[in-house]
Amino acid sequence: MMKSTLFVFCLIGLMVLPSPMLQAQVKGGDFDKLFDWYAMEDYERCAYKAESYTQKDKYRRAPEPYMYMALCMYQAHINPDAFDEEYKDPIKDALKYAYKFRKKDKTGELYAKNKRQIDQIREEALDRAKFYFNDGDYYKSSSEFNRILKVMPGDVNVVFITGVAMVHSRNVSQGTRLIDQALDTLQMLDTTNTFEKDEVTHEVLVKAFVSYTDYLSDNQELDRALDIITLGRRLIPDNAAIRSQYKKLYAKAPEEED
């Protein structure tokens, strides 16, 4: 009976631990203190010590300090009361350190163990990028998406959306390059039937398909617009906006041919 009661007590204790304690952090060696401070939600001390590591020759190539800096800046964004210092744009700083972390994490093993936390930075940054895109501020949205893309270079949705935002902000050559890169991947995913809906970027991906094919149609590139919206319809067959754009563009085709 005593063992059973103790087990229940311990289980309840685990359930009420603060979320950082449950996150997969790397523990060991020179960076134990960073792990402990982050786990205890002492984010300011963790950030201060992590930054000091990045300035020392012995540690400047190690990925761990940059990872903790990224995670602490994310906390400064969502939980500013945990810091005495006020940061101007902590989510931008979080992306900067996350980018450096990914570059220094040569094997990708550390990222794989902490993917959920890094993805939280991505999702928070995407919220702001999507706001600018939906608001028609393509210059700001392309800058925001491009920062995210440095951290997540394999995120095909973000590659495509970033390219579309760049085209709309008149950075046509670089935007088109990213769009072509994304379309190659999306075509492959369509062929292999492996495209998966990403809830975070799905709505803006749909808008990017529609706005970019409108752009192409308005610039006498209807055939390319039709190819791209057809791909979009195959990838996202149940979306009303994609279906409507598909019908609208195909209705234009006979007029263009005449």
55 within a domain of the structure (yes/no): yes
Q: Comparing 139 with 15, which gets the higher pLDDT?
A: 139
- pLDDT digits 0-9 by tens, 87-107: 999 999 999 999 999 999 999
Q: Comparing 242 with 20, which gets the higher pLDDT?
A: 242
- Which pLDDT value is given to residue 204? 95
Domain of residue 177, CATH code = 1.25.40
Helix H, strand E, coil C: the string for the chain is CHHHHHHHHHHHHHHCCCHHHHCCCCCCHHHHHHHHHHHCCCHHHHHHHHHHHHCCCCCCCCHHHHHHHHHHHHHHHHCHHHCCCCCCCHHHHHHHHHHHHHHHCCCCHHHHHCHHHHHHHHHHHHHHHHHHHHCCCHHHHHHHHHHHHHHCCCCHHHHHHHHHHHHHCCCHHHHHHHHHHHHHHHHHHHHCCCCCCCCCCHHHHHHHHHHHHHHHHHCCCHHHHHHHHHHHHHHCCCCHHHHHHHHHHHHHHHHHHC
Mean pLDDT of the region 45-52:
95
Number of compact structural domains in the chain: 2
User: Are residues 149 and 94 both part of a single domain?
Assistant: no
- Which pLDDT value is given to residue 4? 43
175 within a domain of the structure (yes/no): yes
- The residue segments making up the domain with residue 198 are 144-258
Mean pLDDT of the region 5-32:
48
93 within a domain of the structure (yes/no): yes
User: Are residues 246 and 155 both part of a single domain?
Assistant: yes
